[in-house]
């Protein structure tokens, strides 16, 4: 595998534009699959494009005395962070930029997303939006630590935090075989960071749409796009970290990665849309009493395997 | 020391340094908890950017990660303990102005005198190929004791802070003679206990 990054291979500007395009397409795919699963009609796949175009031209409404600066920052930050997290996800075997701390970068973008979504809830000076923002924070307290342990488990097995190294270590054996708990926690946390599916309480109908309740026009488009792009980026990252990335017979590597990403998206949407929404006040104990010990145990098992030279 | 940095990196460090100080000042100028919190976050992110410009990727990213989580937790604590939970009303971010001004000026003087008078050691080795690995080996090796002490200290502080702040103890949860089978909590945590 080449050690070049996408930015070195294509030049900085084309590489950045390419990653943005990949992110938007991934987001569109997630939204389309979501619509099809929810409505049961394949025709619904074009619905995201239609509603995006409508939101683009919709006039923005506002609230009484909003904190406009923070609100705008939050709305712009959500899709920006989703795209930034894609910078360390291998696309065609290369990442946009490669550092010795790719996994921590991905995690940092998620943490910033945490703050950004709270801002989206805070900005409009409205009770439902603020409630949604705080629900998002409360949920995050439950899954942030298990997610960190899950991410670090993949890095532990590869002996590197660099995404392309983790990619390369799985030539023979997919990480999901030895770390199923980490895989499930990672995918579930991705859904939770996009407050989607069973983790959609921050935008729940019981609080009139929560964080998204006062969003309109471009603002709503940005936040919704950020959610689906982040789900797509996380699916691609899950395929890279746990499902062997681009390893597979016959077909070229990047195509395998794409297929695995699509499979993760389909499975995530199919399972996620069949589960009831979790109450945010019922997640913290599960996260800390069940998931933290489980992920720690998972990391221990992997560490012992590493010491025995299992992954070498 | 600055000689092995490119002109771009030096410019970035200078610009981000100014930005971090400006955002730090903004913390005390704005009139809402949310704006103060996020001004502080902006200041920390500028510091993370400086570390990035100095090619210390892990430190940069982990600074951004930890500080962001810290600010989010601060927002949670805001509703838990503040007299104005939502923070929607304008309020001053300055308390004990005279005392803090004296403390701040004193700390500034001590730091500046220290920075300019200490005979800093010069680097004897070449730059490591991978600063993340070097950092990990230092934390897990020669500096492990320091890290453990700091870690336990932080953990104790968190526990002490929570114990001091909460009004409920084990007698509220398990009854006066601590014999209740299930704790009596105002909010169920999620597990069937």
| ipTM for the whole complex | 0.85
Residue A165 lies in a domain: yes
Residue B188 lies in a domain: no
Chain A residues within an 8 Å CB radius of B188:
281-282
Number of domains within chain A: 1
The verdict on a CB contact (< 8 Å) between B61 and A70 is: no
Residue B109 lies in a domain: no
- Torsional class of A62: left (φ above 0), alpha (ψ -120 to 50), beta (otherwise): beta
Domain that holds residue B145: 129-181
Residue where a domain stops, chosen among B49, B66, B93: B93
User: What φ, ψ does residue A60 adopt, rounded to 5°?
Assistant: -80, 135
Contact B183, B173 (CB under 8 A): yes
| Model pLDDT, residue A99 | 79
Chain B residues within an 8 Å CB radius of A285:
189-191, 193
User: What φ, ψ does residue A91 adopt, rounded to 5°?
Assistant: -120, 115
Q: What is the DSSP string of chain B?
A: -GGGS-HHHHHHHHHHHHHHHHHHHHHHHSSSHHHHHHHHHHHHHHHHHHHHHTT-HHHHHHHHHHHHHHHHHHHHHHHHH-SSTT--S---S--SHHHHHHHHHHHHHHHHHHHHHS-PPPP-SPPPS-HHHHHHHHHHTTTHHHHHHHHHHHHHHHHHHHHHH-S--HHHHHTTTT--SS---SS--SS--
B86 and B150 part of one domain: no
From the CA of A151, how many Å to the nearest CA of chain B? 14
- Mutate which of A5, A68, A101, A291 to test chain B, going by most B C-beta atoms within 10 A? A101
Residue B187 lies in a domain: no
B85 and B2 part of one domain: yes
B86 and B136 part of one domain: no
> Is B119's pLDDT higher than 70?
yes
> Is B71's pLDDT higher than 60?
yes
For A147, the 3-state DSSP assignment is helix
| Model pLDDT, residue A3 | 61
Number of domains within chain B: 2
| pLDDT band at residue B193 using 50, 70 and 90 as cut-offs | low
Chain A residue with the nearest C-alpha to that of B58: A101
Domain that holds residue A178: 10-307
Contact of A68 with chain B, judged by CB distance below 8 Å, is answered with no
Chain B residues within an 8 Å CB radius of A281:
187-190
Chain B residue with the nearest C-alpha to that of A134: B76
| Model pLDDT, residue B150 | 93
From the CA of B73, how many Å to the nearest CA of chain A? 8
User: What pLDDT digit, counting tens, does each position of B2-61 carry?
Assistant: 456 788 888 999 999 999 999 999 988 888 888 888 899 999 999 999 998 888 888 999
| Model pLDDT, residue B156 | 95
From the CA of B91, how many Å to the nearest CA of chain A? 14
| Model pLDDT, residue A1 | 41
Give average pLDDT by consecutive 10-residue segment, chain A, 312 residues: 68 84 90 87 85 88 84 92 90 79 89 90 87 88 90 88 82 84 92 88 86 88 92 91 80 83 91 88 87 94 89 74
Residue B19 lies in a domain: yes
Residue where a domain stops, chosen among B65, B93, B121: B93
Residue A2 lies in a domain: no
B60 and B145 part of one domain: no
B89 and B4 part of one domain: yes
Residue A312 lies in a domain: no
B65 and B137 part of one domain: no
Nearest to A136 by CA among A238, A235, A283, A271: A283
| Model pLDDT, residue B94 | 80
> Is B129's pLDDT higher than 80?
no
| Model pLDDT, residue A207 | 87
Contact of A105 with chain B, judged by CB distance below 8 Å, is answered with yes
> Is B84's pLDDT higher than 80?
no
């Amino acid at each position: 595998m080449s050690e070049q990054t996408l930015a070195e291979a294509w030049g900085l500007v084309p590489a950045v534009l390419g990653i943005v395009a990949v992110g938007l397409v991934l987001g569109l795919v997630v939204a389309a699959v979501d619509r099809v699963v929810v409505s049961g009609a394949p025709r619904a796949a074009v619905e995201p494009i239609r509603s995006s175009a409508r939101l683009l031209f919709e006039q923005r409404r506002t609230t009484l005395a909003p904190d406009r600066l923070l609100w705008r920052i939050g709305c712009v930050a959500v899709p920006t962070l989703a795209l930034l997290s894609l910078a360390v996800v291998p696309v065609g075997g290369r990442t946009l930029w490669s550092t010795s701390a790719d996994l921590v970068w991905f995690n940092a973008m998620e943490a910033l997303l945490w703050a950004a979504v709270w801002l989206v809830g805070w900005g409009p000076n409205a009770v439902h939006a603020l409630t949604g923002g705080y629900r998002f924070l409360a949920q995050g307290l439950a899954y942030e630590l298990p997610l960190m342990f899950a991410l670090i488990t993949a890095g532990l097995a590869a002996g590197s935090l660099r995404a392309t190294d983790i990619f390369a270590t799985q030539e023979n054996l997919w990480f999901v075989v030895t770390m199923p708990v980490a895989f499930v926690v990672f995918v579930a946390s991705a859904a939770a960071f996009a407050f989607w599916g069973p983790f959609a309480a921050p935008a729940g109908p019981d609080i009139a749409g929560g964080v998204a309740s006062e969003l309109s026009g471009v603002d709503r488009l940005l936040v919704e796009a950020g959610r689906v792009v982040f789900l797509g980026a996380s699916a691609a990252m899950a395929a890279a970290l746990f499902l062997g990335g681009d390893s597979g017979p016959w077909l070229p590597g990047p195509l395998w990665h794409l297929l695995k990403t699509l499979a993760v998206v389909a499975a995530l949407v199919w399972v996620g849309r069949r589960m009831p929404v979790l109450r945010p006040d019922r997640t913290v104990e599960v996260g800390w009493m069940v998931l933290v010990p489980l992920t720690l145990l998972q990391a221990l098992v992997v560490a012992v395997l590493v010491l025995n030279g299992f992954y070498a | 020391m600055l000689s092995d940095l490119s002109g771009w990196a030096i410019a970035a460090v200078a610009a981000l340094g100014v930005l971090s100080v400006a955002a730090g000042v903004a913390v005390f100028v704005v009139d809402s908890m949310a704006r103060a919190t996020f001004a502080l976050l902006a200041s920390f992110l500028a510091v993370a950017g400086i570390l990035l410009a100095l090619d210390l990727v892990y430190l940069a990213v982990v600074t951004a990660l930890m500080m962001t989580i810290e600010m989010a937790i601060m927002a949670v604590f805001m509703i838990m303990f503040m007299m104005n939970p939502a923070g929607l009303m304008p309020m001053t971010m300055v308390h004990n102005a005279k005392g803090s001004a004296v403390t701040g000026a004193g700390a500034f003087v001590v730091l500046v005198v220290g920075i300019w008078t200490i005979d800093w050691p010069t680097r004897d080795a070449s730059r490591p190929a991978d600063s993340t690995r070097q950092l990990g080996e230092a934390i897990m090796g020669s500096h492990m004791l320091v890290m453990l002490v700091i870690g336990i200290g932080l953990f104790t502080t968190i526990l002490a802070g929570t114990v001091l702040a909460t009004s409920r103890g084990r007698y509220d949860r398990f009854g006066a003679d601590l014999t209740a089978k299930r704790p009596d909590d105002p909010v169920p945590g999620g597990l069937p206990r």
